[in-house]
C-alpha cells in the first residue's frame, strides 16, 4: 500500500495537481529543461563546426540521437558527487555520447545552457499566456456588447451612484486586461537571447577557441542565437543575462494578477447582490452545510491565485537588487520558485477566468429591482426640472421633494420597506402637471448617458484590433476545471 501511495507522501504543488495547464507545466518540467540543455549543446557544436572547429557530423548526430532520453537517476548521482547540476548533466550526456564527449559544452559556461534555456522557456510561456489572455478579452467583449444597454446601478465608495450599464462596467475590466496584453506582448517582443558570452560575459574562452578571431566569436554568438529561434541577443551580459529581464516579466504578470483580482472581486460583490453569477454546474455543491448556496468559487480561486502572483514581483525585484557585480548564485533557488510559480499562477488564473467569461449569468429582474430602490432618489433633480418647465417654482418643488424623500427614506431604513418615493409623488396633487411624464423621467435608460455607445466604440476601436493580432491562436474554450 505504501508503494501504491508513494506519490502522495511528499509535497506536490497545487499549481501542478489542481490549477495550471499541462502545457504550461511541461515548459517548467525537468524533461523540458534538460532536453533543452542538450539541444543548446548541439546548436553550439553546429555553429562551432560551421566556423571551422574540429567537430564532426557523427558527433553531432550522436548527440541528436540522445536529446530526450535523459537518465535522471544517473544525473542525480553525479550531482551528489560534483555538487554542480550542469556538470552532472554534461557527464551523463557524455557517457551516452562517447564520440561527442570531447566537444560537449566546448568553451561554454553553465549559464550558456541555464540562462539560455530560461529565456527559451520565458518566450514559450509568454506565447502560451497571450492567446489565453486575448481569449478572455474576446469573450468579455461579446458579453459587453450583449449587455451594453442594460442599465445597472453604478457604485462609488461602494454606495449606489449614477447608473451605468452592465456592458459598460465589463468594458472597464477589459480595458485593464488590454493593458496587461500590451505589457506582456512588449515583454515577449523585447526578449533576447543570452547567446554565447563565456564566464563573465567577455567571450574570452571563445576568443581562445578561435585563435583570437573576434569576428568569428561574434558570428558564433549570432549563429547560435538564430538557431535557437531568437532574432537578437543581449549585447552585454555578466555571467548571466540581467535579472532586470525577469523583473520586467514578473512585474507584468503581477500586474495581470492585480487586474484579475479586481475583476473577480467585482464579480463576487455582484454575486452577493444576485445581479450576476459565474457559471454554476448542475451537480456543483456550493456549501457542505448550506445546500442552497451558489458560491462564486471560481472568482474566489482567481483572487487567491492572483494574490500569490502579485507577491512574486517583490522576489524578482530583490533578486535583481542583490546580484553583485557579474553575478552571485543566490538568485538560483529563488528563480526556480519565482519564475515557474509566476507563470503557472498566471496560467491558472487565465484558465479559470476564461471559464468564468464563457458562462456569466445576468439577472435583469434583480438588477431592475435594485435600481427601483435607488433611482427615485437619483431622479429628483429631473423631477424638479420637469416641474419648473411646467411652470412650477424651483424652491417650492425642491422643498416638496426633500420632505417626500426623507419620508421614503425612513420607510426604507427604519421599516425595511421598499422605496415608495414615486408613489408619494403621484399621490401629491402638487405634481399633477408632470404625472404623465413620470414614467419617462424615471426610465433607467435615460440615466446611462453614452454608456452603450462607449462600449461599441471601445470594442470596435480598442478590442477588435488586438484580437485580430492573434487570429486563429486565440484560446476561447477552457477545459473542465478542478475545484
Give, in degrees to the nearest 5, the angle at Cα 267 between 263 and 273: 150
- Torsion, Cα 329 331 336 337, to 10 degrees, reads 140
DSSP one-letter code for 288: S
Q: How far apart are CA 299 and CA 260, in angstroms?
A: 9
Phi-psi category of residue 476: left, alpha or beta, with phi > 0 → left and psi -120 to 50 → alpha: alpha
Joined together, the cell numbers standing for residue 122 give 520565458
User: CB burial class (10 A; 0-12, 13-18, 19+) of residue 438?
Assistant: middle
Quick one: which H or E segment has residue 160?
strand 159-165
Give me the catalytic one of 13, 21, 89, 157: 157
Q: Give the number of other CB atoms < 10 A from CB of residue 417.
A: 11
**Phi, psi angles (nearest 5°) of residue 145:** -65, -40
Q: How far is CA 225 from the centre of its chain?
A: 28
3 state SS of 151? strand
Q: How far is CA 294 from the centre of its chain?
A: 26
Q: How far apart are CA 339 and CA 250, in angstroms?
A: 7
287 is catalytic: yes
- Do 372 and 42 contact (CB within 8 A), yes or no? no
Nearest to 154 by CA among 385, 456, 378, 457: 378
Give me the catalytic one of 84, 287, 332, 406: 287
- Do 254 and 187 contact (CB within 8 A), yes or no? no
End-to-end CA distance of the chain: give it in Å, rounded. 27
Q: How far apart are CA 160 and CA 378, in angstroms?
A: 9
Q: Which positions ≥6 away from 399 have C-beta within 8 Å?
A: none
Nearest to 326 by CA among 199, 209, 418, 166: 199
Hey, which residues are catalytic here? Answer: 157, 287
Amino acid at each position: 500500500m505504501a508503494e501504491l501511495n508513494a506519490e502522495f507522501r511528499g509535497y506536490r504543488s497545487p499549481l501542478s495537481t489542481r490549477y495550471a495547464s499541462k502545457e504550461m507545466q511541461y515548459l517548467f518540467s525537468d524533461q523540458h529543461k534538460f532536453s533543452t540543455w542538450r539541444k543548446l549543446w548541439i546548436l553550439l557544436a553546429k555553429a562551432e563546426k560551421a566556423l571551422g572547429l574540429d567537430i564532426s557530423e557523427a558527433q553531432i548526430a550522436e548527440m541528436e540521437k540522445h536529446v530526450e532520453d535523459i537518465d535522471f537517476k544517473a544525473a542525480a548521482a553525479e550531482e551528489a558527487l560534483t555538487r554542480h547540476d550542469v556538470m552532472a548533466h554534461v557527464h551523463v550526456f557524455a557517457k551516452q555520447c562517447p564520440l561527442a564527449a570531447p566537444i560537449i559544452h566546448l568553451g561554454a559556461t553553465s549559464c550558456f545552457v541555464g540562462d539560455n534555456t530560461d529565456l527559451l522557456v520565458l518566450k514559450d510561456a509568454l506565447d502560451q499566456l497571450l492567446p489565453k489572455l486575448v481569449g478572455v478579452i474576446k469573450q468579455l467583449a461579446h458579453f459587453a456588447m450583449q449587455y451594453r444597454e442594460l442599465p445597472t446601478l453604478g457604485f462609488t465608495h461602494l454606495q449606489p451612484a449614477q447608473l451605468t450599464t452592465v456592458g459598460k462596467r465589463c468594458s472597464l475590466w477589459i480595458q485593464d486586461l488590454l493593458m496587461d496584453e500590451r505589457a506582456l506582448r512588449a515583454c515577449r517582443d523585447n526578449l533576447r537571447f543570452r547567446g554565447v558570452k563565456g564566464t563573465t560575459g567577455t567571450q574570452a574562452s571563445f576568443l581562445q577557441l578561435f585563435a583570437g578571431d573576434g569576428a568569428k566569436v561574434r558570428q558564433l554568438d549570432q549563429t547560435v542565437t538564430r538557431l535557437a529561434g531568437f532574432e537578437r541577443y543581449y549585447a552585454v551580459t555578466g555571467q548571466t543575462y540581467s535579472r532586470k529581464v525577469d523583473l520586467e516579466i514578473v512585474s507584468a504578470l503581477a500586474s495581470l494578477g492585480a487586474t484579475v483580482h479586481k475583476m473577480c472581486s467585482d464579480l463576487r460583490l455582484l454575486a452577493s447582490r444576485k445581479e450576476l453569477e459565474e457559471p454554476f454546474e448542475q451537480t456543483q455543491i456550493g456549501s457542505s452545510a448550506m445546500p442552497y448556496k451558489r458560491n462564486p468559487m471560481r472568482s474566489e480561486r482567481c483572487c487567491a491565485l492572483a494574490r500569490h502572483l502579485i507577491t512574486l514581483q517583490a522576489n524578482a525585484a530583490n533578486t535583481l537588487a542583490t546580484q553583485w557585480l557579474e553575478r552571485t548564485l543566490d538568485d538560483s533557488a529563488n528563480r526556480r520558485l519565482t519564475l515557474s510559480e509566476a507563470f503557472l499562477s498566471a496560467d491558472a488564473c487565465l484558465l479559470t477566468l476564461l471559464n468564468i467569461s464563457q458562462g456569466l449569468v445576468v439577472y435583469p429582474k434583480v438588477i431592475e429591482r435594485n435600481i427601483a430602490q435607488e433611482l427615485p432618489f437619483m431622479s429628483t433633480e429631473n423631477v424638479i426640472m420637469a416641474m419648473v418647465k411646467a411652470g412650477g417654482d424651483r424652491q417650492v418643488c425642491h422643498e416638496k421633494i426633500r420632505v417626500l424623500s426623507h419620508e421614503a427614506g425612513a420607510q426604507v431604513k427604519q421599516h425595511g420597506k421598499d422605496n415608495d418615493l414615486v408613489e408619494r409623488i403621484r399621490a401629491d396633487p402638487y405634481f399633477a402637471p408632470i404625472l404623465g411624464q413620470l414614467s419617462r423621467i424615471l426610465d433607467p435608460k435615460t440615466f446611462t448617458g453614452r454608456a452603450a455607445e462607449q462600449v461599441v466604440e471601445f470594442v470596435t476601436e480598442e478590442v477588435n484590433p488586438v484580437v485580430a493580432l492573434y487570429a486563429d491562436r486565440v484560446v476561447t474554450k477552457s477545459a473542465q476545471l478542478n475545484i
